[in-house]
């Protein structure tokens, strides 16, 4: 049996909000019998784009993470729903608009905050994966169709095929700790969940300083190297994917034509941009 999954590539999302707007356009004011009652014009974000800024001037990046109902295979909302929330054989989870009326407890059951309460209709609501369109032969939901960068992909695969894809593309869930077996998989999520160490290296020779490319940068924690890289043509380096609470670490910088230097920094909850390091060369 093939099931739907959504792939979100965080590195490709530019926060254009097309996916959010396309979903609004599909559901606001539209009563889709058996799938979804109309979404209110204001308040609901069935696709909710989170933002995170990392680093400090001059090395800063901003990451956008579209979030939505994960259509979990082990869904707390299905368990709480008592028949009002259905898991379809194609993997899609539907909050039945006829059976879920008045059930605010279903909103609370989702650990991702992906269910929204419709005050006017007294109804819990979430993104349905556009199941009504897929059931009519559409190949992808509207959010995917409207994404100009390819950050979103919808695939229909067996569990085994999906497991291969997860391994090959290094996909991960938004919150592994929740263990709900989500069908939304993220690529490059480290840009949101992890930290980086970055900096700039200059080489000084005969009183002249210039960007130093090809310098080896070794990041050590407790004396053990945990990652390494080389400076680029602008003398810059970046080591990403670090635990945000790595703690005290040393950045050792070396180059065959210059004297080496070690600088100490602490990674505590945020990325670190080290001060410019100047390596001295022999005249
Ligand atoms: S993300 Fe929330 S609403 Fe969606 S299936 Fe999982 S528990 Fe249910
Ligand atoms: S449409 Fe694509 S690029 Fe635009 S916000 Fe959504 S996921 Fe990101």
Q: Which atom of ligand 1 is nearest to the CA of 95?
A: 3
Number of structural domains the chain divides into: 2
CB 79 within 8 A of CB 206: no
Collapsing DSSP states into helix, strand and coil, what is residue 70?
Answer: coil
49 lines ligand 2 (CB under 6 A): yes
Same domain, 54 and 98: yes
Same domain, 53 and 68: yes
In 115-213, which residue ranges form alpha helices assigned H by DSSP? 131-134, 142-146, 159-168, 190-193
Q: Which of 142, 175, 192 is the last residue of a domain?
A: 192
147 lines ligand 2 (CB under 6 A): yes
Same domain, 47 and 131: yes
Same domain, 49 and 11: yes
Q: What's the CA-to-centroid distance between 144 and ligand 2, angstroms?
A: 8
Q: Which atom of ligand 1 is nearest to the CA of 126?
A: 3
Which residues approach ligand 1 with their CB closer than 6 A? 69-72, 75-77, 93, 110, 112, 114-115, 126, 180
Q: Which residue's entry shows tokens 């299905």?
A: 78
Same domain, 24 and 93: yes
Q: How far is CA 103 from CA 75, 98, 122, 215, in A?
A: 16, 11, 8, 61
Q: Which atom of ligand 1 is nearest to the CA of 70?
A: 1
Same domain, 175 and 203: no
Domain that holds residue 79: 3-192
Contacts of 9 (CB under 8 A, 6+ apart): 150, 151, 152, 153, 186, 187, 188
Same domain, 89 and 174: yes
Q: Which of 192, 217, 242 is the last residue of a domain?
A: 192
Q: Which atom of ligand 1 is nearest to the CA of 77?
A: 8
In 65-184, which residue ranges form alpha helices assigned H by DSSP? 76-81, 105-109, 131-134, 142-146, 159-168
Q: What's the CA-to-centroid distance between 251 and ligand 1, angstroms?
A: 42
| CATH code, domain carrying 153 | 3.30.70.20
Q: How many CB atoms lie within 10 A of CB 117?
A: 17
* pLDDT per residue of the chain (283 residues) written in tens, 0 to 9: 899 999 999 999 999 999 999 999 999 999 999 999 999 999 999 999 999 999 998 899 999 999 999 999 999 999 999 999 999 999 999 999 999 999 999 999 999 999 999 999 999 999 999 999 999 999 999 999 999 999 999 999 999 999 999 999 999 999 999 999 999 999 999 999 999 999 999 999 999 999 999 999 999 999 999 999 999 999 999 999 999 999 999 999 999 999 999 999 999 989 999 889 999 997 6
| CATH code, domain carrying 233 | 2.60.40.10
């Amino acid at each position: 049996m093939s099931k739907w999954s959504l792939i979100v590539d965080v590195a490709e999302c530019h926060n254009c909000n097309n996916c959010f707007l396309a979903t609004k356009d599909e559901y606001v004011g539209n009563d889709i019998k058996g799938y979804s009652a109309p979404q209110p014009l204001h308040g609901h974000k069935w696709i909710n784009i989170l933002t995170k800024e990392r680093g400090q001037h001059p090395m800063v990046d901003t990451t956008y993470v579209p979030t939505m109902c994960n259509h979990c295979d082990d869904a707390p909302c299905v368990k709480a729903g008592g028949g009002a929330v259905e898991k379809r054989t194609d993997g899609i989870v539907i909050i039945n608009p006829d059976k879920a009326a008045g059930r605010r407890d279903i909103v609370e059951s989702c650990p991702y905050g992906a269910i929204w309460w419709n005050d006017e209709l007294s109804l819990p609501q979430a993104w349905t994966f556009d199941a009504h369109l897929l059931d009519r032969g559409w190949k992808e939901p509207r959010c995917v169709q409207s994404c100009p960068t390819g950050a979103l992909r919808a695939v229909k695969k067996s569990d085994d095929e999906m497991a291969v894809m997860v391994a090959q593309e290094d996909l991960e869930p938004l919150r592994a700790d929740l263990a709900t077996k989500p069908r939304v998989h993220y690529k490059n999520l480290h840009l949101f969940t992890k930290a980086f160490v970055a900096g700039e290296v200059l080489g000084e020779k005969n009183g002249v300083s210039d960007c130093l490319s090809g310098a080896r940068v070794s990041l050590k924690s407790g004396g053990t190297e945990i990652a390494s890289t080389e400076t680029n043509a602008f003398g810059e380096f970046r080591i990403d994917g670090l635990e945000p609470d790595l703690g005290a670490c040393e950045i050792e910088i070396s180059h065959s034509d210059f004297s080496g230097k070690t600088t100490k920094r602490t990674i505590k909850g945020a990325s670190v941009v080290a001060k410019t390091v100047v390596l001295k060369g022999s005249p």
